[in-house]
Structure 1
Amino acid sequence: MKILKITFSILVVFLFSSCLSGIKKGADISRNHIDYIKSLGILPGDERIVLFVSQGRMKVSGNFFTDKRIAAYWIDGKHKENSFIKFAFYKEIDSIVPHLIKEANHSSYLEVYKNNGQKFKVYVDASSEETQYFFEKAIAEWKKNK
């Protein structure tokens, strides 16, 4: 009976940890998904994704930064007018403002302000620790490459 309880506990922990959306390192993204992002025109062959996070399926939503840019996309197959692909090269960015949201129904985001007055949001749907890590790494990458 004790072995059954231990096995059940391990299984529950494994299932909960595997359900977390989380942030992925670029090296952990499948070739299929990399090819899809390239097909959107926001990942040329000479760039590498540093961190990536999705709000659901990768073919619908993606928020990431590379060694050269920060980007976000939303592809709505039913309502194409809601789709967008936004990005900025680090040299085009005036500022990045983090917004850490603690409400369960809303995602935290980075607000990216471009030199030309345009702005867009890069959403991070992850734990507070992962979100903070994404924010810090993205801002550090921008500062290093601007």
Structure 2
Amino acid sequence: MRRIHVLFSALCLVSCNHIETGKTLRQADLAFIRSLGLLTEEEEVHQFYSELRLKRAGNFFTNKRLAAYWIDTSNQQKTQFSSAFYPEIISIDTVYYAGATYCPYLLVKKADKTQFKVCAEGKRAEVKQFFEEALALWQQHREQQ
């Protein structure tokens, strides 16, 4: 019975989160992301998604980059900050179905052979829009080079 309660609570947490835009994020939230070194004053957040709370996890893209972070307050070794400016990215793969317990994600591969995931969950149309807008911005930057 306890497992069912824990699973239900986890599902409720995830389902309460939604994709936001730079206009719907609070200034304090943007300041927090800047403090992580993942956003400059000149960048505009296009879309943002957090699996938990914004101060624990975030996935977003701006007019200049894709980024994701995970802050583990109980184990600093698990904390991760990932970012790639569009010119650094060699490919982006979309994964709409990542299994029953994982969010859909963009797999971002950089020229230095590293890679990371940018997750987004919500209604299929919202996730599709998130992915397509991120891909369009990346493609736009590729064409400008």
Q: TM-score, normalised by structure 2?
A: 0.84
Letter in 2 for 1:22: H
Query: In structure 1, what is the Cα distance between the partners aligned to 2:98 and 2:65?
Result: 27
Residue equivalent to 1:76: 72
Shift in Å, 1:102: 6.4
After superposition, give the CA deviation of every residue in 1:20-48 in whole Å (9 maximum; x if it has no partner): 42110111100110000000001011101
- Aligned partner (choices 97, 100, 110) of residue 101 of structure 1: 97
Shift in Å, 1:105: 1.9
- Aligned residue for 2:69, secondary structure, equals strand
Is 1:57 the counterpart of 2:53? The answer is yes
Judged with a 3 Å threshold, the aligned counterparts in structure 2 of structure 1 residues 94 and 111 are, in CA distance, closer, same or farther, namely same
- After superposition, where does 1:133-144 map in structure 2 within 5 Å? 133-144=129-140
Structure 2 portions without partners, runs of 5+: 1-14
Is 1:120 the counterpart of 2:113? The answer is no
Aligned residues, how many?
A: 129
Residue equivalent to 1:16: none
Shift in Å, 1:103: 4.2
Residue equivalent to 2:23: 27
Shift in Å, 1:137: 0.6
Letter in 2 for 1:145: H
Structure 1 portions without partners, runs of 5+: 1-18
Q: Percent identity?
A: 37
Structure 1 runs, 4 residues or longer, greater than 6 Å off: none
Q: TM-score, normalised by structure 1?
A: 0.84
- Aligned partner (choices 40, 43, 47) of residue 47 of structure 1: 43
Residues 22 and 130, structure 1, Cα contact 8 Å, conserved in 2: no
